[in-house]
Amino acid sequence: MAEKMNVIDERLIQEELQAGREKPREEILAILAKAGEGKGIEPQEAAALLQVEDPDLLVEIFHAAREVKLKIYGKRLVLFAPLYLSNHCLNNCQYCGFRRDNGRIVRKRLTLGEIREQVRELENLGHKRLLLECGESSLSDIGYVEEAIAAIYAAKNGKGEIRRVNVNIAATTVDHYRRLKAAGIGTYQLFQETYHRATYEALHDGPKADYERQILAHDRAQEAGIDDVGLGVLFGLYDYKFEVLGLLYHARHLEKRFGVGPHTISVPRWRPAAGVDFAPPHPVSDEDFKKLVAVLRLAVPYTGMIISTRESVEMRTEAFSLGISQTSAGSRTSPGAYGKEGDGTEGTQSEQFHVADHRSADEVIRSICEIGYLPSFCTACYRRGRTGKTFMDMAKPGNIQELCAPNAILTFQEYLLDYAPAETRRIGEEHLRHHLREVPPGPLRQETEKRLKEIAEGKRDLYF
């Protein structure tokens, strides 16, 4: 049994949610005024916003979240793709397609050769940033993960290369996290799934059933020197309002203990999968999903927020304006699915979950341009050492945006020249010029323009 630490006080959360129901309109507006400064709000203030049902006040919440996101991160959206290495798993999580007792799933673990092939397929789509994922199994132990990371970084395809590997693997030891750090990972991401202990224990069977092992994994990662960690829950397992406050208290715990909060927060909603006979006991409506995204953005404005292809095209488009700053594109959720016939989603019987957005990566990128946002393949902060507290010291006052936009412009130029079809390139080049004009006149814009010319002449991987 892992060490116990009081990260989540369930009684306090329930009390704050109850108190939040009683806030008058004037107090809600006062909270929004404070939130609009972009410095975050307290969990009890977030609890009050989560209880809002009045349509007019919801519009105010959405507007405030949009303004805070633009203030901190601007219009850029960072793109990535998940890479599933193995769907073998010791755990029997009721909601997951990889669960141990799922007899309908075709089990597979990628060889190093297959990993390199998958990486080349992803590079052909323009991706520079991957999220490595696998089930918990002796077949995907720390040694295998280390070899996979080395293979990913080494796999080159013309001008294609993966510049950052983020990792989402089962909770492990400080020593194993040190090995991940030495392997050159970016962010270590792990979802608590649900912060409600009784629900957590009822839904899990196997090593993952240890609540403390799961919730203190980020502490061990920080102790090992991984100062970029990502939180998340699987919305639908318990009351979404409770889960949002759980995320905020978990973030507060990390900041108090290590001086730095989470680098990212993910907001997945449950999705079905082959062989999974499960219905979420607390389904989250589209309106409530938009509200929770907005409240999280207001509460932790410095944190990157991630949305995946679990969500529909329409919901993803709306969420981009409510606080999302990172998104997957063209995702496949089963090992070896990239580059296969069809859309790679529901036909293989080996995916973790069915995706809802089946568009190609290029279609997602084009749509991002069409709604006025800037696609970004940037990995500069990690490679310049802007991680952990260094990153937060720039993000909290909004200074990170000064680098985000130019770096997004440079990496998007690479995509347009190396991978974009003609129509995307036409739309993207016009869009890129628009965002370049939004970089304030002066040395930074001049240097960005200079580097754009260098990229057009064949140089790559230029960043601030």
For residues 336 and 452, membership in a common domain is answered with no
Reported as a single tens digit per residue, the pLDDT across 205-247 is: 999 999 999 999 999 999 999 999 999 999 999 999 999 999 9
Phi-psi region of 183 (alpha: psi -120 to 50; beta: other; left: phi over 0): alpha
358 in any annotated domain: yes
Rounded Cα distance between 74 and 347, Å, is 38
Of the candidate ranges 115-124, 167-176, 283-292, 377-386, the one whose mean pLDDT is the lowest: 377-386
Window from 15-19, 276-280, 347-351, 353-357 with minimum mean pLDDT = 347-351
H or E stretch at 232: strand 229-232
Task: Name beta bridge partners: 98.
Answer: none
Kindly indicate the confidence band of residue 392, based on its pLDDT and cuts at 50, 70 and 90. confident
Last residue of a domain, one of 353, 382, 411: 382
Contact 448, 412 (CB under 8 A): no
Q: Three-state DSSP class for 164?
A: strand
Question: By the 8 A CB rule, do 233 and 191 touch?
Answer: yes
Whether residue 113 lies inside any domain: the answer is yes
Could you tell me what percent of the chain has a pLDDT over 70?
Answer: 97
- Whether 152 and 228 share a structural domain: yes
Question: How far from 258 is each of 220, 253, 315, 422, CA to CA, in Å?
Answer: 11, 8, 35, 48
**pLDDT score at 398:** 78
Calculate what percentage of the chain has a pLDDT beyond 90: 91
Domain harbouring 159, CATH code: 3.20.20.70
* DSSP letter (8 states) at residue 259: S
pLDDT of residue 155: 97
234 close to 276: Cβ distance less than 8 angstroms:
no
Rounded-to-integer distance, Cα 185 and Cα 69, Å: 26
Same domain flag for 359 and 452: no
What are the angstrom distances between the C-alpha of 405 and each of 192, 380, 442, 444? 32, 12, 14, 11
pLDDT of 2 strictly over 60: no
344 pLDDT band (50/70/90 cuts)? very low
Helix (H, G, I), strand (E, B), or coil: what is residue 221?
helix
Q: Domain end: 348, 382, 416, which one?
A: 382
For residues 430 and 333, membership in a common domain is answered with no
Q: For residues 374 and 403, state if they share a domain.
A: no
Mean pLDDT for all residues in the chain:
95
The domain in which residue 405 lies consists of: 399-456
pLDDT band at 401 (very low <50, low <70, confident <90, very high): confident
Helix 443-456 with 422-437: angle, nearest 10 deg: 160
Handedness of CA 26, 27, 28, 32 (dihedral sign): positive
pLDDT given for residue 133 in this prediction: 98
Upper half-sphere CA count for residue 303 (Cβ side, 13 Å): 31
Same-domain status, 328 and 435: no
Query: Do 373 and 227 sit in the same domain of this protein?
Result: yes
Mean pLDDT of 175-183: 98
- CA 107 vs. chain centroid, Å, equals 26
Residue 41 belongs to some domain of the structure: no
18 assigned to some structural domain: no
Q: Whole-angstrom Cα distance, residue 360 to residue 125?
A: 9
Structural domain includes residue 15: no
* Amino acid in the structure at residue 257: R
Given the structure tokens 């449950």, which residue do they identify?
Answer: 270
Same domain, 321 and 411: no
Q: Is the Cβ–Cβ distance between 95 and 146 less than 8 Å? A: no
- What was the pLDDT predicted at 397? 84
Give a yes or no: residue 392 inside a domain. Answer: no
Residues 355 and 439 in one domain: no
If asked whether residues 288 and 406 sit together in one domain, one would say: no
Dmax over CA atoms of the chain, in Å, equals: 62
Residue 347: predicted pLDDT: 46
Closest CA to 205 of 364, 121, 93: 93
Q: How many domains does the chain have?
A: 2
Q: Which of 316, 404, 383, 322 is nearest to 73 (CA)?
A: 404
Kindly write down the DSSP assignment for every residue of 330-360, as one continuous string: S---STT-TT-SS-SSSSSS--SS--S----
Same domain, 370 and 409: no
pLDDT band at 3 (very low <50, low <70, confident <90, very high): low
- Residue-wise pLDDT for 271-287, tens only, equals 999 999 999 999 999 99
Which stretches of 216-327 are DSSP H helices? 217-223, 240-258, 286-299, 313-320
Query: Rounded mean pLDDT of 253-280?
Result: 96
* Rounded CA separation 388/453 (Å): 32
- Residue 63: inside a domain: no
Predicted confidence (pLDDT) at residue 348 exceeds the cutoff of 90:
no
Whether residue 4 is contained in a domain is answered as no
Can you tell me the mean pLDDT for 163-176?
98
pLDDT at residue 179 tops 80: yes
Q: Are residues 404 and 367 in the same domain?
A: no
Closest Cα to residue 380, out of 155, 153, 186?
186
Last residue of a domain, one of 357, 382, 407: 382
